[in-house]
Amino acid sequence: MSSSVIDPAVIPRMRARPRASLQDWLPRIVLAPSFAVILVFVYGFILWTVWLSFTHSRMMPVYALTGFDSYARLFAQPSWWMALKNIAIFGVLYVVICIALGLTLAILLDQKIRIEGVLRPIYLYPMAVSFIVTGTAWKWFLNPGTGLEKTMHDWGWTSFQFDWLVNADMAIYTIVIAGVWQATGFCMAMFLAGLRGIDGEILKAAQIDGASTYATYRRIVIPALRPVFLSAFIVLTHMAIKSYDLVIALTGGGPGNATELPSTFMYSYTFTRNQMSVGAASAVIMLMTVAAIIVPYLYSELRERRQ
């Protein structure tokens, strides 16, 4: 070919230094500590907890395996059943009401509201503040002796009764109220983002086709929000299962064990009642529930993005 052919036998094999191997490995070296830490602190510790759930550990861990004993003991505990019943009531009401209220607020706010900039942060601030903080006020507000009931009595409505906080049958619903109050604004923000993401031309087309406002929402807007419903459902369910501060701040699990949730059950059995293996077993059940919801969701999200 051309005169510029280089004869490899004549040219020294390499003048430039070889690919700086450190530079080549740096990305992996940088990522490694984080990954190692997560591998140990998350996955390693989960295995550790699973192991403990198959032992007879009480105050201190012991590592002799004893099969499913702890799970048998766990499901023999009335307070665990109470926790399961409560998480079912709380979870369903919390998710449904948050989504319903959040969607309503989002639709109302999406009507070209002049003071939207003021209202939106008001609905959302509970997410920014610890419930240990706002719980102080809620507890006071729900307490028959100091809060709403007393206020109504002061105003002359002496037959008014609102004692849910200290009523074992109703206390779980105060948790629902407080939880809904905390998370509705977040739901609203998700739905509002969804609404704003809908192509305005589709809505105009629907109106030109003669759809009423109601029909537009019913047939076009709400179906278009399907992914937001899914996200909201996943996030809320996950938050419901992890709810802990809410109960501690409001009822401490009481009266009696009327507002026990799996999260409080796990904590008290592990750290105050010295039944570590039962606590570990309850943690494993919680983890499996969360994984059953989150893993398929994450899997589909990651797949979608790959396409």
CB burial of residue 145 (10 Å; 0-12, 13-18, 19+):
exposed
Nearer to other proteins, 169 or 199 (CB): 199
Q: Which of residues 229-268 bind other proteins (CB under 8 A)?
A: 231, 234-235, 238, 241-242, 244-245, 248-249, 252, 262-263, 266-267
Please select the residue that binds other proteins; options are 160, 173, 229, 297, rule is CB under 8 A.
297
Nearer to other proteins, 2 or 159 (CB): 2
Q: Which of residues 147-176 bind other proteins (CB under 8 A)?
A: 147-148, 150-151, 154-155
CA-to-CA dists, residue 40 to 30, 36, 64, 270, 288, angstroms: 17, 6, 22, 21, 19
Question: With binding defined as CB under 8 A, does residue 195 bind other proteins?
Answer: yes
- Binding part of the chain for other proteins, among 78-86, 87-95, 165-173, 214-222 by CB under 8 A, reads 214-222
64 CB-side CA count, 13 A: 3
Please select the residue that binds other proteins; options are 217, 225, 253, 260, rule is CB under 8 A.
217
Contact 237, 91 (CB under 8 A): yes
- Binding part of the chain for other proteins, among 70-78, 80-88, 91-99, 129-137 by CB under 8 A, reads 129-137
Nearer to other proteins, 97 or 221 (CB): 221
The widest CA-to-CA distance across the chain, in whole angstroms, is 107
Question: With binding defined as CB under 8 A, does residue 301 bind other proteins?
Answer: yes
Nearest to 219 by CA among 206, 208, 200: 206
What's the closest the beta carbon of residue 166 comes to other proteins, in angstroms? 15
Task: Provide CB contacts within 8 A for 195, sequence distance 6+.
Answer: 106, 107, 110, 221, 225
Question: With binding defined as CB under 8 A, does residue 63 bind other proteins?
Answer: no
